[in-house]
Structure 1
Amino acid sequence: YRMIRFLFMQRGVWAVLLLPYLLTVSSPLDCREEQGSLSRCPSISQEKLLDRVIQHAELIYRVSEESCSLFEQMFIPFPLQLQRNQVGYACITKALPIPSSKGEIQQISDKWLLHSVLMLVQSWIEPLVYLQTSLDRYDAAPDMLLNKTKWVSEKLISLEQGVVVLIKKMLDEGMLTATHSEQGLFQYDVQPEMLESVMRDYTLLSCFKKDAHKMETFLKLLKCRQTDLYNCA
């Protein structure tokens, strides 16, 4: 515990050094011109909705990347980074039927691209709530990191709403209900030791960054298929 507290204090300076980079977060998007939620999307065209959903996913990925970088620089010394890689912490979405190879992604239908995005989004809603609670217990966690985690959590719910409406528009399906609370992919445990807690949070941030990139990639591939079906490799 003392080692972790020392690392917190030693690496707190990174919050200042990374400040200009971490403040480059755009405003939340909406189907209208003013700011708001993607839940107000049924009235706009399918093409415009897809563009807005992609923009939303891009922002979420960018902020998740910034948050992961800040957390790593402040709390994870290089030996612990190696330990995480060696132990091979599994991501919570590993069990989901999400295509992983380039060949699989190219072969799946538009329907499964959308449903893959929706599964990823819904699977991360609860873990990000846990992550906010966990980070609140850190002695040296900067407000910037806490605020970014909260922002991503809120925008993920908005992205879920937009993807649900997009599925309805593109696939002529009924409105889908959120199922993240019933999937059982993430379990809340008794508060772990400090080092274990830090590594768990680091794993969550790293895995979410990867999955956020998948969401963005799948949506951009879907957009490409709408405009240039034979040139989306």
Structure 2
Amino acid sequence: MAPGSWFSPLLIAVVTLGLPQEAAATFPAMPLSNLFANAVLRAQHLHLLAAETYKEFERTYIPEDQRYTNKNSQAAFCYSETIPAPTGKDDAQQKSDMELLRFSLVLIQSWLTPVQYLSKVFTNNLVFGTSDRVFEKLKDLEEGIQALMR
């Protein structure tokens, strides 16, 4: 080891250990409405990404006359799109906590049947196990939201 090469890691360790634990472990508080608005934006982005991925999959692997979206124009849309939801931060902030909880509950319940169906369709253990875990998480969320609504 070259002389003085130990100095930098030692200095970093001393400075890090010298920080108060509270300062190093805290995160700024964020209002629930901001978290919800962020979740809505992320969900919208994921929905668009999933729709684009599905369309690309169909174009690549399924002959045009056999494409499900050609036979059923509504299939191109997610059925949970029909659930009335806040459209942005301002809209979410104007809703009561109970309205936001109701929306969250309906959204989660709308995914229970498709996820359960997915686990029955695939025989692959990896997919089956994953969809079972997702179903369990959705059920936990459903129960948690119902408890909050009481």
Based on CA coordinates, which of the two structures has the bigger radius of gyration? 2
